[in-house]
Structure 1
Amino acid sequence: MSQQTPNIPTPQAIRGTQDIFGADAEAFAFVVETFERVRKLYRFRRVEMPVFEKTAVFSRSLGETTDVVSKEMYSFEDRGGESLTLRPEFTAGIARAFITDGWQQYAPLKVATHGPLFRYERPQKGRYRQFHQLDAEVIGAAEPQADVELLVMADQLLKELGIADGVTLQLNTLGDGASRDAWRAALIEYFRAHAAELSEDSQDRLERNPLRILDSKDPRDKVFTAAAPKIDDYLSAEAQDFFGKVTSGLDAAGVSWTRAAALVRGLDYYRHTAFEFVTDRLGAQGTVLGGGRYDGLMEALGGPATPAVGWAAGIERLAMLVGDLPYSWPEIAVVAESREREIDALALISKYRRAGFSAEVFATGSPRKRYDKAQKSQPQVIISLDQRDGQKGNSFKCDRALYERMTEAQVIFDGFVHR
């Protein structure tokens, strides 16, 4: 009696998550590797942050009434009854660590990290419920030079990824505290006069977060946002000077930018510089990197007043812009064309890898087909190990430039003949 295969359902990925493989994984890795190289050039220290924090870290930093806190956070009670949240962003956790772990002694502190984040959003192209970001922060620096350094670093990252063409840096100022408060009051007064005609979301934001109305995509709001009060009419002399130093610094560094007066950050602790690198190559989700100065965040978390500025970038979106990378063929292929030479092949391949060469061994399956399989992998060098009538034979086919590199590395083909 034949056995029947049990009817076991195939597990499916959780909606809004993704399995990354092949060309997508290579592009993802390329983004991370490039970020790590660039952050070292700018002397940013690597940090690793917990995947979950106390919920209060995010509710206090992001604001109880924001969409992220009220609708998108993955929060749960642990066995001790404490409310924890999977991190929806990096900045709050880094700010918490700065306060609680004694990082103040290193201020001004430049840190960078990357990893997975979690938000309950409607999945779409380039947006997932588990997604990944790069993050860079400068904490404890009040000078506009910190803003400039972060923006120049971001610009260099995009250029070294090869995706800077068609990406525009949009820049705005939110002013200092007094400037922002005056602008906020003027916006509330202006939008109150049109409250009945605004979208439901903007009516809800009117009193508590009026700046967010300015970046609304709802056509009902766009009718009124064009004529809304502008921050430039409320900037103090100090705020104008700060923004002028940021823009002149970018000009000196050769970073192109464009003014975006409607670019805002809704939370009260944001000050001065706000920015986004945007493209039309990703459809509606056009922002690939964004950030700003958040001089009031540490106080919101219960720490001392500490200026700070930072940015984040979605790895998936950057990888989509990078596109498919050329497949990485092995430099060296070692073939065991007889079963007696399989151990020799493994020993030889280890020697080449330790010398720094990318190498693949072909020592499984039909011995007659191994050489053909090696050729299909398009290596620069094919090394063949064979044994006939008890006699070992070693041969190679080699690209001249790689042969010279191998000679310099002292892994030349002693006892081999050219095939």
Structure 2
Amino acid sequence: MTHLGTDLKRHLYRGRTPARAVEIRDLREMARRRLPALVFEYLEGGAEEEITLRRNRTAYDEIALMPRMLRRIGGTSLGGDLLGRPAPIPMAVAPTGFNGLLWPKGDLALARAAAAAGIPFVQSTVSNDPMEQVAAIPGLRHWMQLYVFQSQQAVEMLVSRAEAAGSEALVLTVDGSVFGNRPWDKRNYRTGTEPTLARKLEMLTHPRWMIDLIRHGQPVFGTLAPMLPEGKGDMVSATGWLRDQMDPDLDWDRVAWLRRIWPRRLILKGLLAADDVERAIRIGADAVVLSNHGGRQLDGVPSPVEVLEQVAPIAKGHLSLLIDSGIRRGSDIVKALALGADGVLVGRAGLYGLGAAGTPGAMRAHAILREEAERTAALLGCASRAALGPDCLFRRAPA
């Protein structure tokens, strides 16, 4: 609840009908009420002091827009090319793990929403549904996210499966070889992945979520299942195995090897430094995603939107430049495009919709972001993506 003055009281939507959500905050509140605390903490939390998590939002809040009046805008559309194919809005669903905890068969539910919106879905290596099932969804643009394991054979197996499944792009996450420290998430567990008694009892206060869990069973790592050792198929055991298998020595040579064995679009996700983007160009990447992993890895780094203007001239004409982390409004998408991004990846915003109401909730999240982005562009006096540029932003005069 927020208050203005002494008379006006405001409430976020508290029902269960996603169509009545008017902004992403409504879907977030719906998800918060439905999900147990430890699941919502996993979705919501960040690393250490959560400085980067907060900065991802404040960085967008500090960018002011400068509208131009009396322009013919007609039917504003932000549609156009997104990595070689048309999209109604330059947006993709970011890769996220453990979606089955938010909704039964959560990866399939989220991917169906992406297909309905006409935008790509980036499936996580640690997804709960097999990549082959997700990639087979009619009309879906399937991009496969990859974590690099110490076993080259395991990586080759995942790459071969992605190619056979028809994935149009491979998204290599480069900032996840070492797991970030998330103390608030850790406080939910006694040891490892065993929840505290208080958290177990709190789960009982979320009957809708509990009924779904009982009916569908605990999620498993569907994509990794064929390569898990015997007896490691449950999510708790598989999580421990996964941590041991991650390759902390992932380097540019390994990226070059991946470029050689993967015949389609290669995207590097998790870069921030300009010289890393230059190396990505030299190695033959088709796109990069400026990302700090949603504030969940190294705390205290800049928001991707803060480095975007510096990196955009380097990428222009060489590779597509995408950005994620902190996007909650359509106006955030417009700001990113005005600063030189070719598109955005959206994570938590869509997951709030998924956790609130499954596929209809995620569809509503995507629709809200598109509606807001097109409205913002129209109010700026821009009828298309091509019209968005630095002149759409307010710059303070030097002191």
- TM-score exceeds 0.5: no
Q: Which has the higher helix share?
A: 2
TM-score, normalising length from structure 1? 0.24
Larger radius of gyration between Structure 1 and Structure 2? 1
Report the structure, 1 or 2, having the larger strand content.
1
